[in-house]
Amino acid sequence: DAGVIQSPRHEVTEMGQEVTLRCKPISGHNSLFWYRQTMMRGLELLIYFNNNVPIDDSGMPEDRFSAKMPNASFSTLKIQPSEPRDSAVYFCASSFGQGASYGYTFGSGTRLTVV
Amino acid sequence: KQEVTQIPAALSVPEGENLVLNCSFTDSAIYNLQWFRQDPGKGLTSLLLIQSSQREQTSGRLNASLDKSSGRSTLYIAASQPGDSATYLCAVSGDKIIFGKGTRLHILP
């Protein structure tokens, strides 16, 4: 298995632009998680899906952020409009079972820079 | 609200030493605890997963213990090597999955 695949690896965009981050979970995993990592706040859970349904989105910072999981093999995290304070590394992770009962596998992350 | 703390935030030790990293959590109602390694600019690599019913897990030179009642976990690294230099994070899984901020480990050659 190729693991959790995220794209793009790096994204530089101007303030106000729309940004879409993509994630392909491990085949057979039914839970998917989006995290944001910054030096100040560490790793923060933004949202997680189980069987393609959003279970907890309380970590999504504001309405500018949205996430979808149209099928078991694909998820997107969209920021519209982007702001400089959104600059961070965004990770996607997947697991089998609700609540990561069997542990997570992380993707390599997308480093987002908003200028 | 679950809080996860990792102490120390940074640690430098000479090569060959055994060392212990600490993780504490405030709510003992967890399903499991997982230790990860993160290299600079990279993603997280899972090292060990301890279910709430377990006391410890071992993989090679790594041993992780879990004491739910006291809200503590330790990651023991035996015979440290320069290649062990990385940031080590613990994550507890309950209603939510919460990460500590990590311990940045530097092994001196």
- How do residues A67-96 score in pLDDT, each as one tens digit? 999 999 999 999 999 999 999 999 999 988
Strands A31-38 and A88-95: antiparallel
Kindly determine whether residue A42 and residue B101, on different chains, have CB atoms separated by under 8 Å.
yes
Kindly determine whether residue A109 and residue B31, on different chains, have CB atoms separated by under 8 Å.
no
pLDDT value, residue A101: 66
DSSP for B25-88, written as a single string: ES----SEEEEEEE-TTS-EEEEEEEETT-SEEEETTEEEEEETTTTEEEEEE-S--GGG-EEE
Distance between CA atoms of A110 and A21, rounded to whole angstroms? 7
pLDDT in tens, chain B (109 residues): 899 999 999 999 999 999 999 999 999 989 899 999 999 888 899 999 999 999 999 999 999 999 999 999 999 999 999 999 999 999 998 777 889 999 999 999 9
pLDDT value, residue B11: 95
Contact call for residues B37 and B45 (beta carbons, < 8 A): yes
Burial class (CB in 10 A: 0-12, 13-18, 19+), B83: exposed
Read off φ and ψ for residue A86, nearest 5 degrees: -80, -10
How close A16 comes to chain B (CA, Å)? 26
Distance between CA atoms of B69 and A95, rounded to whole angstroms? 26
**What are the pLDDT digits (tens) for A22-75?**
999 999 999 999 999 998 889 999 999 999 999 889 899 889 999 999 999 999
Contact call for residues A115 and A11 (beta carbons, < 8 A): no
Contact call for residues A70 and A52 (beta carbons, < 8 A): yes
Strands B4-7 and B19-25: antiparallel
pLDDT value, residue B97: 83
Kindly determine whether residue A106 and residue B43, on different chains, have CB atoms separated by under 8 Å.
yes
Q: Which of B1, B63, B58 is nearest to B29 (CA)?
A: B1
Kindly determine whether residue B46 and residue A103, on different chains, have CB atoms separated by under 8 Å.
yes
User: How far, in whole angstroms, is CA B106 from its chain's centroid?
Assistant: 15
Q: Which of A51, A35, A54 is nearest to A43 (CA)?
A: A35
Burial class (CB in 10 A: 0-12, 13-18, 19+), B66: buried
pLDDT value, residue A102: 72
How close A107 comes to chain B (CA, Å)? 6
Contacts of B99 in chain A (CB under 8 A): 35, 42-43
Distance between CA atoms of A8 and A10, rounded to whole angstroms? 5
Mean pLDDT, chain A, integer: 92
pLDDT value, residue A1: 65
